[in-house]
């Protein structure tokens, strides 16, 4: 029997167990919980590097979408990138990630996203910071009293399709938010054994307009509970007020409420007065444009007429290198190889531009965009959008 390839999905149970144990050991996580998570994800979504039966490195892949310009662009979300301590800092991480990039370029979706433990590793492979994930904390007592309005009821098992619909309606125009896969929804519903996921659906006359999913946990040594919001959405201002009210009514038992939100989220306007929501975590995620023309063709664009040409340099995927031209007519894009372009960027610059994280002036100051500034105004208008963010961590 031929030996398994150096890079690929786990070759049998030993590879799978080895990777699972490595993830648990690296992140100090419960081994059973990690094994369950990876079993749900499936071995087809795991990649390892091996040498003579020795598992040297591994990563996991979420196949899902991310919204850019109001359209869901297919991505691979990378997670659980790990090497055993004795193998680190010897080039194996780069080898694994490069093999994954090549595979994705050949047969995967056009974009890759991840939360980096170290930006250096990924930047060297053409990823760049492309958006944030903000976690806010607010004291329940500090939430201003919202007026009574829409009613709500406990979520039941049959409500999940409606919850998913509301999520998509609320987030599809928020740049960077996930078009969640089944695995991400499952992850959101999975809470620690001692916890209980509670859900409330906000109802209008025509049907549900919002929801709140949360867990409560007792703070050590006190009678107060802390609330962790696992997900929420609203599609109208009255549903926002109802959602705020559902948080506000917790104040007799709940001390602090922790939740993720976008940097310019309309929830913030009602959540606090006097700026009393603390931003307790600001993570940055990175994006890699893996297939340049496909990524440009797949996203949504503003409904304008504009055109720009730029030369991309890709150190890992030569097929992406070269001058490209994007022409927008009423928001419809045509993408083609150009003859020449006087603007230059590396894939890192393209990633930050693509998500709208950085506009041309900031890209130039960061050294991520060079050459003539003739197309800067067009590039700024084409890639403009709301500040990119993610609610989910993966
Ligand atoms: C992060 C990790 C996957 C990188 O793999 P690796 O084999 O150690 O990295 P490489 O040897 O291929 O190094 C690639 C580059 O990244 C740098 N690098 C590696 N780990 C780094 C770290 N933690 N911080 C900063 N730079 C790092 C290397 O110095 C090298 O830089 P250079 O090209 O300028 O010399 C590995 O160290 C690991 O498993 N760490 C623990 C788990 C973890 O943090 N996973 C990442 C989750 S997103």
- List the residue whose alpha carbon is closest to atom 12 of ligand 1: 91
Query: Residue 356 domain-assigned?
Result: yes
Do 341 and 243 sit in the same domain of this protein? no
**Quick one: which atom of ligand 1 is closest to the CA of 121?**
16
Centroid of ligand 1 to alpha carbon of 128 (angstroms): 16
CA–centroid distance, residue 63 to ligand 1 (Å)? 24
Pocket of ligand 1 (CB under 6 A): 26, 81-83, 88-94, 116-118, 120-121, 124
Please, are residues 279 and 273 in contact by the beta-carbon 8 Å criterion? no
pLDDT (average), residues 236-254: 96
70 lies in a domain?
Answer: yes
Q: Which domain holds residue 353?
A: 292-383
88, 283, 316, 394: residue to mutate for ligand 1 pocket, most atoms within 8 A of CB: 88
Residue 197 lies in a domain: yes
What's the domain count of the chain? 3
Taken as a whole, the chain contains a residue count of 394
Residue with the larger pLDDT of the pair 330 and 170: 170
- The phi, psi pair for 253, rounded to 5°, reads -120, -25
Residue 322 Cα distances to 314, 340, 356, angstroms: 9, 8, 22
CA–CA distances in Å: residue 94 to residues 103, 123, 130, 190: 14, 11, 21, 32
Residue 121 CA to ligand 1 centre (angstroms): 5
Residue 372 has pLDDT above 80, yes or no: yes
229 and 275 housed in the same domain:
yes
Q: Whose CA is nearest to atom 5 of ligand 1?
A: 93
pLDDT for residue 1 is more than 70: no
- Domain final residue, candidates 283, 308, 335: 283
> Is the confidence at residue 361, as pLDDT, over 70?
yes
My answer on whether 158 and 212 are in the same domain is: yes
Which pLDDT value is given to residue 2? 66
Q: What is the dihedral of CA 72, 265, 126, 123, to 10 degrees?
A: -150
Q: What angle do CA 77, 78, 84 make, to 5 degrees?
A: 170
- Considering the domain architecture, whether residues 279 and 141 belong to the same structural domain is answered as yes
Together in a domain, 310 and 267: no
Distance 61 CA to ligand 1 centre (A): 18
Q: Which residues of 111-125 are buried (b: 16+ CB within 10 A; e: fewer)?
A: bbbbbbeeeeebbeb
Would you say residue 334 lies in a domain? yes
- Same-domain status, 138 and 277: yes
- Indicate if 125 and 248 belong to the same structural domain: no
Residue 80 lies in a domain: yes
* Probe target for ligand 1 pocket from 89, 115, 284, with the most ligand atoms within 8 Å of CB: 89
Which residue has the CA at smallest separation from atom 27 of ligand 1? 121
Helices (H) and strands (E) in the chain, counts: 12, 18
Clarify whether residues 226 and 325 are in a common domain. Answer: no
| C-alpha 41 – ligand 1 centre gap (Å) | 24
CB contact set of 364 (below 8 Å; sequence gap of 6+): 370, 373, 376
Buried b / exposed e along 346-382 (16+ C-beta atoms within 10 A): bbbbbbbbbbbbbbbeebbeeebbeeeeebbebbbbb
Calculate what percentage of the chain has a pLDDT beyond 90: 90
Q: Coil, strand, or helix at residue 126?
A: coil
Considering the domain architecture, whether residues 161 and 252 belong to the same structural domain is answered as: yes
Residues 99, 220 within the same domain:
no
Domain of 343: which CATH number?
Answer: 3.30.1050.10
Q: What is the pLDDT of residue 225?
A: 95
How much is the pLDDT for 290?
98
Rounded mean pLDDT of the chain?
Answer: 95
CA distance 356 to 354: 6
Q: Is residue 1 a part of any domain in this protein?
A: no
CATH of residue 233 = 3.40.630.30
Answer yes or no: do 329 and 343 share one domain. Answer: yes
Closest CA to 219 of 190, 260, 247, 258: 258
Mutate-to-test residue for ligand 1 from 121, 125, 284, highest number of ligand atoms within 8 A of CB: 121
For ligand 1, what atom is nearest to the CA of residue 115?
Answer: 48
Is the pLDDT score of 182 beyond 70? yes
* CA–CA gap between residue 120 and residue 314 (Å, rounded): 17
* The domain boundary residue, chosen from 228, 253, 283: 283
- Asked whether residue 66 falls in the same domain as residue 165, the answer is no
Kindly tell me if the per-residue pLDDT of 275 is higher than 80: no
Which ranges constitute the DSSP H helices of the chain?
13-27, 31-41, 92-107, 119-123, 160-171, 182-189, 237-248, 266-271, 292-298, 347-354, 360-365, 376-383
Residue 391 domain-assigned (yes or no): no
Handedness of CA 97, 98, 101, 103 (dihedral sign): negative
Per-residue model confidence (pLDDT) at position 119: 96
Domain termination residue (choose one: 69, 98, 130):
130
CB 347 within 8 A of CB 312: yes
47 lies in some domain: yes
């Amino acid at each position: 029997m031929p030996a398994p390839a150096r890079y690929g999905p786990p070759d049998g149970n030993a590879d799978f167990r080895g990777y699972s144990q490595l993830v648990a050991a690296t992140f100090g996580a419960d081994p059973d919980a990690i094994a369950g998570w990876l079993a749900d994800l499936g071995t087809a979504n795991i990649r390892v590097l091996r040498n003579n039966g020795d598992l040297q490195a591994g990563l996991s892949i979420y196949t899902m979408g991310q919204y850019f310009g109001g359209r869901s662009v297919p991505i691979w979300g990378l997670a659980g990138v790990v090497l055993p301590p004795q193998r680190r800092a010897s080039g194996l991480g780069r080898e694994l990630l490069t093999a994954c990039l090549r595979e994705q370029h050949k047969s995967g979706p056009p974009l890759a996203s991840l939360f980096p433990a170290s930006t250096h590793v990924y930047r060297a492979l053409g990823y760049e910071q492309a958006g944030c994930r903000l976690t806010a904390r607010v004291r329940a007592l500090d939430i201003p009293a919202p007026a009574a309005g829409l009613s709500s009821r406990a979520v039941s098992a049959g409500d999940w399709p409606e919850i998913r619909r509301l999520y998509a309606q609320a987030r599809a125009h928020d740049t960077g938010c996930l078009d969640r896969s089944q695995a991400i929804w499952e992850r959101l519903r999975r809470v620690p054994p001692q916890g209980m996921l509670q859900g409330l659906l906000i109802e209008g006359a025509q049907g549900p307009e919002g929801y709140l999913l949360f867990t409560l946990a007792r703070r050590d040594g006190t009678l107060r509970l802390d609330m962790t919001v696992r997900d929420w959405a609203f599609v109208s201002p009255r549903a926002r007020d109802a959602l705020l009210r559902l948080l506000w009514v917790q104040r007799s038992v709940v001390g602090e409420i922790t939740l993720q939100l976008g940097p310019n989220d309309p929830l913030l306007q009602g959540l606090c007065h006097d700026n009393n929501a603390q931003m307790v975590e600001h993570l940055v995620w990175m994006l890699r444009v893996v297939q340049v023309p496909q990524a440009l063709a797949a996203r949504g664009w503003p409904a304008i007429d504009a055109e720009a040409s730029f030369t991309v340099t890709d150190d890992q995927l030569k097929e992406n290198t070269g001058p490209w031209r994007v022409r927008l007519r009423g928001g419809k894009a045509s993408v083609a190889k150009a003859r020449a372009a006087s603007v230059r960027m590396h894939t890192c610059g393209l990633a930050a531009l693509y998500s709208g994280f950085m506009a041309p002036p900031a890209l130039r100051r960061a050294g991520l965009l060079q050459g003539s500034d003739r197309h800067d105004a067009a590039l700024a208008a084409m890639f403009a959008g709301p500040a990119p963010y993610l609610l989910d961590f993966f």
